[in-house]
Amino acid sequence: MTDPLLIRVLNGEIASPPPAWLMRQAGRYLPEYRALRETSKGFVDYCLTPELATEATLQPMRRFADLDAAILFADILLIPFAAGAGVRFVAGEGPVMNPVASIAEIEALTWNAVAESLAPVSETVRRVRAALPADKALIGFAGAPWTVATYMIGGGKDPNRWAARTLAWKDPAAVDLLLTRLVDATVSYLVSQAEAGAQVLQIFDSWAEQLPAPLFDRVVVRPTRAIVDGVRAAGVAAPILGFPRGCGHLADVYARETGVTALALDMSQADAELVRRLPAAMPVQGGFDPALLAAGGAAMADEVSRLLTVADGRPYVFNLGHGVSPDIPIDHVAELLAIVKDR
């Protein structure tokens, strides 16, 4: 049997039309998601209940036949939750947790309990894979260590990553220890997702922005390289997508030095000159502005054409440059996917 289109393209095939999926394709813009979410006690419970998480993963697949892949319904903050950081999602405020700032606080977390408490996620992966048609790929994911660390150091959303960036300069040993613990937890988490049936793995580094090059190397590139090496050492061959959002032209360094299979581009990185400098033939993904998806209209088709030009003969996966936001009209999603698949 041939592999799903997304896997073939991440392994180097050029496809027209390209495979398509959308970051945050499950979630609050879907009425069926909001209805299901009301039945759970809280967001973490929802993610760790395989029946609910399986249903949330499959909802966008049922609605949009043009999607080539499902992404596991979970969250990048499940690792700090499982490590006992007190993660909770407060309505209207986002994630909150107990901040860590010292080696003692980092060592006091229950890192050894992470794998067991995230076992329900592997069960979700097994259920989704069993329910998905063979031609649709299943994507597993985790947050990159730096992005997860910014929430842990900030005690939740850390505006401008100020707390995390300050600590990275002030107490490098503490931040490096936190990143090391996160690398180890993330490697086993991703390996168990792959063993349960995830065919692609994406590493979300949503807060890779605002870092000077030496710090970018220390907190983004090296920990990501360690994850890729760890996953490969465990015998997992699945393509790995890296998404270093907001790092501008440092995406080139990231693409060369982390070992990822393919690079997910944000809006400003979806630029012909930047893409030309990437390692030869490395597949690229994404770049479409979620605000244009909110706006809708004829400009969507022009931007899809532009992105195909930017990919310039490389394997390309259609996606957004950041996640779907809750206010996006569902009709615009269907229209956008039809535009992508029409050519």
Interaction residues for ligand 1CP, span 108-167 (CB under 6 A): 141, 157
Contact pick of 20, 48, 69, 77 for ligand 1CP (by CB under 6 A)? 77
- Tell me which of 8, 24, 63, 126 is the catalytic residue: 24
Interaction residues for ligand 1CP, span 277-336 (CB under 6 A): 323
Per-residue contact flags (x/-) with ligand 1CP for residues 198 to 237, judged by CB under 6 A: ------x-x-------------------------------
306 labelled catalytic: no
Which residues is 288 bridged to in the sheet? 320
Question: What is the spatial distance between Cα 237 and Cα 145, in angstroms, rounded to a whole number?
Answer: 21
Contact pick of 8, 11, 12, 28 for ligand 1CP (by CB under 6 A)? 28
Question: What is the spatial distance between Cα 241 and Cα 222, in angstroms, rounded to a whole number?
Answer: 16
Whether the Cβ atoms of residue 84 and residue 114 lie closer than 8 Å to each other: no
Q: Is 55 in the site for ligand 1CP (CB under 6 A)?
A: no
Alpha carbon distances (Å) from 38 to 28, 34, 35:
11, 6, 5
Contact pick of 9, 30, 52, 71 for ligand 1CP (by CB under 6 A)? 71
Question: What is the spatial distance between Cα 262 and Cα 284, in angstroms, rounded to a whole number?
Answer: 6
Cβ proximity to ligand 1CP, 290 vs 314, nearer residue = 290
Cβ proximity to ligand 1CP, 90 vs 108, nearer residue = 90
**Of 179, 307, 190, 291, which is closest to residue 242 (Cα–Cα)?**
190
Question: What is the spatial distance between Cα 7 and Cα 10, in angstroms, rounded to a whole number?
Answer: 5
245 labelled catalytic: no
Residue 53 is inside which H or E element, if any? helix 50-63
Place of tokens 């269907």: 334
Residues that bind ligand 1CP (CB under 6 A): 23-28, 37, 43, 71, 73, 75-77, 89, 94-95, 141, 157, 204, 206, 323
Show which residues are catalytic: 24, 28, 37, 75, 151
